[in-house]
Amino acid sequence: MLPRGAPAYRLLVCGLVLAARAHLHGPERLACDLPFRSAMMTGLAFDKLAEFRVARHYFTALAALALALVLGLPAAARGDGSALDVATLRVRLKDTHAIGPVAKLRLKSEIGDLVSDLAAFHAGRGSETLEELHVRYRDLVLRVVALLQQDDASLAHDLTVSTDDLWTTLADPRQFASLTKG
């Protein structure tokens, strides 16, 4: 018996499928044609690449340029998972296309309500405990991440990573006061 990954095994399977069906369509045809075409294209591509004679130092310079470009990008563009602060989160949520305008207005209202309740709590006149506010905050973050995951995975990831740091900022009276002054 041939191992599953062997090229001869694929040829045998494609041969059996061809014998069973006169005309292959869609994924079956692609699966049977792919091994032959990729081998043919590899040979052509290799032959074309062999015609080019490029000095090794050009490749080194190109690699250095690529590295400089990647390191020169801002952290948000690199997607290295750096923690978000409140101001950056505001800007990125405003600029994202992953959330529609109506959902953004709804979120803005919910965030405003949460911030108002946090301000009341820090002023000593809040009707909710810090734990209850934290639960509301967590629920809001989960809903925002769910909205972002499909079309802005980078922001969803950064928000997930930053959730605890953002709550620490909101829960601390001095840090919260500095946010509301700005």
| Coil, helix or strand at residue 181 | helix
Domain that holds residue 161: 86-181
Minimal CA–CA distance to 140: which of 65, 64, 89, 71? 89
Same domain, 91 and 171: yes
Report the pLDDT value the prediction gives residue 10, as an integer from 0 to 100: 54
Global confidence as pTM: 0.55
Q: Report the C-alpha gap between 30 and 154 in whole angstroms.
A: 33
Minimal CA–CA distance to 169: which of 132, 120, 105, 115? 115
Residues 26-80 have pLDDT tens digits of 445 545 554 444 444 445 555 555 555 555 555 455 555 555 554 544 444 444 4
Same domain, 90 and 173: yes
Both tokens assigned to 90 = 């505001």
Looking at the domain assignment, is residue 66 inside a domain?
A: no
Number of domains composing the chain: 2
Looking at the domain assignment, is residue 70 inside a domain?
A: no
What is the CB-side half-sphere exposure of residue 105 using CA atoms within 13 A?
2
Same domain, 35 and 90: no
Residues 86-108 have pLDDT tens digits of 889 999 999 999 999 999 999 99
Looking at the domain assignment, is residue 153 inside a domain?
A: yes
- Which residues fall within 8 angstroms of residue 10, CB to CB, at 6 or more apart? 35
Same domain, 49 and 131: no
* Choice among 37-46, 128-137, 168-177 with the minimum mean pLDDT: 37-46
Which residue intervals of 21-152 are DSSP H helices? 27-51, 56-72, 75-78, 86-95, 101-122, 130-148
What is the dihedral angle through the alpha carbons of 78, 82, 86, 89, rounded to the nearest 10 degrees? Answer: 30
Same domain, 32 and 116: no
Q: Report the C-alpha gap between 101 and 28 in whole angstroms.
A: 43
Q: How far is CA 161 from CA 33, 79, 122, 156, in A?
A: 44, 12, 25, 9
